Structure 1
Amino acid sequence: LNINGTYYFSCQHGPAECKGNLYQSCALSQNQGDRKNVEFVNCIMRRNPDHFVNVEKCARKHEFNAAKIRNCSRTVEGSEFLAQNGDKTLQLDPVLSFVPTIIYNEVYSDEDQQESLKDFAAVVCSKIDGDKPEICANKRLPKSRGFFEIF
């Protein structure tokens, strides 16, 4: 909700989820590329994504600028990034009814959704043409918590 330039967010799992989503939105705004975005999001989703110390660890590991993420999360720009992601969520077809809902290349597929819940990395890796990130060398990854979108 945007009231006179001030954003107010409500997330399914409460304020901590909103904070984690804000950190992820700010990180992804750094435009590090699909490979680094996937690796960063997987890293942060394996931890508690609303604690900044975990954001810092993943940022350092995957070459994101943690200071920029922190600064972004405290600005209107960061709120705008999160609002844009929220708008994308509201525009989903079919309407979001389950978290996590996983969408690839802006297209929802029941088959991809079900397979992603079993082995997210395998499905992501199958969608990448050309050189694949290191994470694709692993057979299976632990299931992630929460909702995120990879741009």
Structure 2
Amino acid sequence: MGVTGTGKTTVGRLLAGALGVPYTEGDDLHPPANVAKMSAGVPLDDEDRRPWLDAIGDVLRRLPADRGAVVSCSALKRAYRDRLRAAAPDAVFVHLTGDRTLIGRRVAARTGHFMPALLVDSQFAVLEPLQADETGVAVDVSGSPEETAGRAVAALAALPAPHHP
């Protein structure tokens, strides 16, 4: 989870590979209307996100009980994570964090993504970091994606069972 530009896709793939589990790109589950809205520079509202979160929840719900997975999505608000946990109570969140300047540079430099740089501020404005009662870890994204994935693996390994990878 995290704002646009934190590397959810790249780090998610690396993390899934390191853990030996499947990866799903949450952005691929957005309805076309959401992609069109974001491409036009319009932030999604909670109503827009509901079908997307439910699609992610369906992916999580269908996972075999004995096998994990990595699914990337912003999950910026506690309510969104609660909705995902309703579908997958054992979900563990990896919050990719970085300062506004770093994230702004990354988003401005990327090509071929529907999320324009002007939406970075709106994402930071609605971001609700993980709370103490939420199972998960925060991982700084400064450095390479490989370093970030390594920090994520180490942070997940430090969680108490049953969430130990």
TM norm structure 2:
0.27
Point out the structure with the larger strand share.
2
Higher relative contact order (CA 8 A, sep 6+): 2
TM norm structure 1:
0.29
